[in-house]
Chain A
Amino acid sequence: MSEHKGVFVFSEKHDLALEILGKAREIADKLQTELVAVLIGHNLQDKANEIVKCGADKAYLADNQALERFQAEAYLSVLQSLALSCKPEIILIGSTKNGKPLAARLATRLETGVVPDCTKLSIDEQKRLVGDRMTYGGNAVAKVTFKKKPQIATVPARAFEKPEPKNRNGQLVKLDVKIEAPKTEIVETRPLETSNVRIEEAEVIVSCGRGLEKKEDKVMLDELAKALCGQVGCSRPLAEDRKWFSEWVGLSGHKVKPKLYIACGISGVIQHVAGIRDAKVIVAINKDPEAPIFEIADYGIVGNLYEILPALKEAVEKQLQ
């Protein structure tokens, strides 16, 4: 096991790779080992420079037109050949819709374990990587470590902060890897039909659940959100069952950490709560005094959201003047 060394970082999303690098730098320093970034794509020079500024000692560049778009087998072959030749101790991969399956398949090829969606990473007394992840539908946080190396963990967006770029030197190494032919063909890619706002970035979220009776009543939430310079969200049933929204907040949807989350007519099932756990302040408005949402709220109002929301909008506008 001891022959494994180095912390490797990869994400096909550049911003996420940078976020992971900040934490990975800490881990590499603790283990007194090298921090290595892997870049796969085309025209990577600028990204490589930024990667070094954000903490990498070394960056491997698989720069090839055939790698411009994410293709599982092609990307996998680059990471696999690097892992076999460099024997990293830790591989951290961005937990995206493409990145997580990539990590799973890399681990399968390397006959090792993966801990997915780690929101915390640490090193234990035996110098093993320990990842914290939400499990049981948000009911619990599991601390998981590894029995084999390389230790592969995936890291979701916004778990760690992007480090401040510094003027520092790093080694750039161009790779010449035999790229595996993809088994799937991408026919078309088009932007997701969303409202173009990224709810993860909102400081204030006014969110509704099944307590909202008609789609048109969203206007009430829009108006309150506007008064608070925030955005509107919803719980899963409104998006998946009623189709009033295209996205939702929760474990299977967006995980958010706003300063203020106002849950209107949301009962507070554990999967929804898991998506808002990191909110600074949670306000719950619900007709049912027994609704579980009140258990995780800072401020609870038992009442009719059709009366409270317009009143709250008025109160906010009046008091913020």
Chain B
Amino acid sequence: MRKIIVCLKQAVDVSQLKVDSTTRQLLIASAPRKMSDFDKNALEEAIKIKEKLGDTEICTMTVSSEDAKAVLREALAMGADRAYLVSDPGLKDVDTSGTAYVLAEATKKIGECSLILCGETSLDSFSGLVGPRLAELLNLPQMTSARKITVEGDTVTVERTLEEAVETMKAKMPALVSITREINQPRIPSLMMIMKASKKEIVAWTASDLNLQKDKIASKIELVEVLAPKTERKKIKITGENPQEIADKLAKALIQEGIIGR
């Protein structure tokens, strides 16, 4: 049977993140979490491959705190077969290198797979480093920014969106592919699927279950500060009797500022 591993991240829902306007601090602790959008596209793509080719098992995994089980439940409801959570107090501050290392060790424990799919980047930190790091650690071919993916026999072919070109690239499996959001529209699980998923097992592993080494988990970067950017916009409301009057006032203001007309 073909096995596809999908890496999921429980991300901060950035659209619901609040900022303390006096200190410019983000209220991260109180912000809701959700499955990172790009990862959801990756999972959807795995399910599509399974629907097309059959004989496929989809394993999802995440490195997170206990409450990330909700994300795994959602993945199971969408159509994943198995779910693995690596959770350990020692993993609280892992950076992309540590996360990739943990995912690599978990992948080895899950066993041989044909394909690893992950989002091109994550909704909250937007780094895009974990996928390539994981490919490197597992010594796999890496194909990033995929907007189309085709599995045939032991070969995977992807279309990658680059800055000025679309590149078609192929590799022998096993391989790692990172997925863009334009690839698909993730399904919304039915109530029936949600009910069924609630009965499935989520396998939980700790650092010692994976024999993780301390020095490899240690963060290699240091966060100095995270602050909301200062916005210094004029916020002038332009009003008038009718659209033409409003438009005239705006055009005049833009010309006076030297923004247009020079």
Contact = CB atoms under 8 A, between A and B. Distances in A.
A303 B246 contact: yes
Interface in B161-217: 161-171, 175, 178, 181-182, 185
Nearest to B251: A315
Q: Which of A135, A184, A307 has the most CB of B within 10 A?
A: A184
Contacts of B124: 135-137
B221 interface: yes
A115 interface: yes
Interface string A105-148: 10111011111110000001000001000111111111111111
Contacts of B224: 124, 130, 142-145
Contacts, number: 263
A189 B226 contact: no
A7 to B, nearest CB: 18
Nearest to A282: B233
Interface string A275-315: 00100111100000000001111111111100110111011
A80 to B, nearest CB: 11
Interface string B47-63: 00000000000000000
B12 interface: yes
A146 B220 contact: yes
Contacts of A100: 128-129, 132
Nearest to A240: B182
Contacts of A299: 234, 236-238, 250, 253-254
A136 B129 contact: no
A225 to B, nearest CB: 12
B222 A192 contact: no
Dominant secondary structure of chain A at its interface with chain B: mixed
Contacts of B161: 97, 192
Given A139-B17, A184-B142, A185-B171, A108 B164 contact: no
Dominant secondary structure of chain B at its interface with chain A: mixed
B228 interface: yes
Contacts of A295: 231, 233, 235
B125 A135 contact: yes
B225 A187 contact: no
Interface of B: 12, 14-15, 17, 19, 26, 28, 95-97, 100, 121, 123-133, 135-137, 140-145, 157, 160-171, 175, 178, 181-182, 185, 218-229, 231, 233-239, 243-244, 246-248, 250-255, 257, 259-261
30 contacts: A104-B128, A104-B131, A105-B133, A105-B142, A108-B100, A108-B132, A109-B136, A112-B220, A114-B129, A136-B26, A136-B28, A136-B124, A136-B125, A139-B14, A141-B228, A144-B222, A145-B222, A146-B221, A184-B175, A185-B171, A191-B165, A228-B260, A259-B259, A277-B229, A282-B233, A294-B235, A298-B234, A301-B246, A315-B244, A320-B255
Given A97-B144, A97-B145, A281-B257, 20 more contacts: A98-B162, A101-B144, A104-B130, A111-B97, A113-B95, A114-B127, A135-B125, A136-B14, A136-B125, A191-B166, A192-B161, A240-B181, A271-B15, A297-B233, A298-B235, A299-B234, A299-B253, A301-B237, A301-B250, A314-B244
